[in-house]
Homo-oligomer: A and B are copies of this chain.
Amino acid sequence: MSISGGIVAYADSQSETAAPAELNQNEFKKKRVVVLGTGWAGTSFLKDLDVSSYDVQLVSPRNYFAFTPLLPSVTCGTVEARSISEPVRNIIKKRNGEIQFYEAECVKIDAANNKVFCKSHFENNMIGSEDFSLEYDYLVVALGAQVNTFNTPGVMENCHFLKELEDAQKLRRSVIDCFEKASIPGLTEEERRTNLHFVVVGGGPTGVEFAAELHDFIREDLVNIYPMVKDLVKITLIQSGDHILNMFDERISTFAEQKFQRDCIDVQTGCRVVCVSDKEITMKVKSKGEVTSIPHGLVVWSTGISTRPVVKDFMEQIGQANRRVLATNEWLRVKGCENVYALGDCATIDQRKIMDDIASIFKAADKDNSGTLTVQEFQDVVDDILVRYPQLEIYLKNKHLRDVKDLLKDPEGKDIKEVDIEGFKLALSQVDSQAKSLPATAQVAAQQGAYLSRCFNRREHCKDNPEGPQRFVGGGRHSFAPFRYKHLGQFAPLGGEQAAAELPGDWVSIGRSTQWLWYSVYASKQVSWRTRVLLVSDWTRRFIFGRDSSRI
């Protein structure tokens, strides 16, 4: 470990007097792993990592893990920030100091020298140097993403965001501020209305959930304590697409729009925001092309994510400069680096196309080198193909084909016994269109972290006993199966104790019972018993006492 300083030096000097047996043990040098980020991906990677073979150093500007799906609940005080955050040091403490955590920001990844440069964020306010570097044998990049303003002028300066816990806390104070502003004497009714005009940009799950939370907060709590201004509140939701929640099933999207209409939340679809000032938001109605400005009291910007500068810089170093997002292979290894892994929102998996390898697959499958593939020969390799190219499974499902051998049909739709390379290409030619990139969700990041730690833990074992699919290009087998995302469903809380959920197997569930499902799933998914208890007591407190409106 490269950390210096008195205490560690002391620990080192102790080992000099150790017995020879221990010395030999020390000589087995652990690989140094540096992990960047304490979000879903980083935390889930560390949770089950076997530290007996790795020296782990963790760097993040946040010394806690935040349960981000509950951020919209924090904005209105339904849940406290502390109830959804767990100190990183608590999570890693069971590993008895084997994992070092540094509260700092990674400012540069030096891929050529296997080094990261970090800076603690206590600017000019600490004794000693705030810059340091760490060397790694393996680097795990789990830095997440930043908000995407699409370079819209004024967004950074005048909007609220919902990425970090601090954002949610600030937004909570600002919502209360709007009500206090509207209560100041001497304002015209128009001015009061403007102070109480809440605009949400982005009709995705976060934006919709915030709008719903805000509506509940106002209807259930604020009307009682701000009776004078309660009728002046307005919530507007601006969505560039034609529907809100358009990544969900249509039934959910329609239900949400109808519920918002009943709740008097003004949903404006097909609008693109052109600029935001401190007093007005300007947008263009796509269909008509006309530009309108509306005064606002507060704008929440929740439209998507973009790559962080430090990741952008890293991409330039490794020849990914022309990509938008850092690309990894299906095993989460960064393309162009041997020993760097990336997971979570900061990266996407660049799924290998089946058509790129079609000749090799054919060759590997054609065991008798006959130049044609029999159904039997195809079926012998199909499991490996399904693991290596998951788009095939989606293709089969969408085409309602029960069996892969149904692919091999002649133009009249009759089963055929053999295909040549051209027939094989034709049969699989449409498969790659089904390759989908994974959504930037907590669920994906958590599964990737767990997957990668399993790979790290079994690295030595799987070198000799590969457990992955056949390697069509190059021969042999892959050490590991590539990462496969298992979609466990997604929730969209809509306020008023109503929620919608997309469950595995195309199930859709909407209504009050779904809200209770939401409560139980989110409670069970907490990282610690502490946050679980706090979360449930927050919900209980809200039912009994309502939400707190103190501006703290």
On A, residues with C-beta under 8 Å from B are: 2-8, 62-64, 80-82, 85-87, 89-90, 93, 97, 100-104, 120, 122, 124-132, 134, 165-166, 169, 176-177, 180-181, 183-192, 194-195, 224-229, 231-232, 278-279, 295, 297, 529-530, 533-534, 537, 541, 544-545, 548-552
Contacts and interface: CB of A to CB of B under 8 A. Distances in A.
B225 A122 contact: no
Contact of A195 (B85, B127, B295, B529): B127
9 contacts: A2-B185, A7-B192, A63-B180, A82-B550, A97-B227, A122-B180, A127-B191, A127-B279, A534-B541
Given A82-B550, A93-B224, 9 more contacts: A5-B186, A5-B192, A7-B228, A7-B232, A82-B552, A124-B278, A128-B194, A530-B541, A530-B545
A102 B224 CA distance: 16
Contacts of A533: 541, 544-545
B127 A180 contact: no
A77 to B, nearest CB: 8
B192 A101 contact: no
B102 A184 contact: yes
Contacts of A190: 6
A529 B176 CA distance: 22
Given A62-B551, A87-B548, A102-B184, A189 B3 contact: no
Contacts of A101: 183
Contact of A550 (B63, B128, B295): B63
A120 B181 contact: yes
B7 A229 contact: yes
A297 B93 CA distance: 25
Nearest to A164: B552
Nearest to A92: B225
A169 B551 CA distance: 13
B279 A550 contact: no
B549 A63 contact: yes
Contacts of A80: 80, 82
9 interchain residue pairs of minimum CB distance: A6-B189, A64-B550, A128-B191, A89-B225, A103-B180, A128-B187, A3-B185, A530-B545, A127-B194
Q: Which of A7, A64, A185 has the most CB of B within 10 A?
A: A185
A185 B85 contact: no
A501 to B, nearest CB: 29
Nearest to A226: B89
A63 B176 contact: yes
B187 A552 contact: no
B549 A90 contact: yes
A14 to B, nearest CB: 14
Contacts of A231: 7
A481 to B, nearest CB: 36
Contacts of A188: 5-6, 128
A104 B185 CA distance: 10
Contacts of A93: 224-225
B128 A3 contact: no
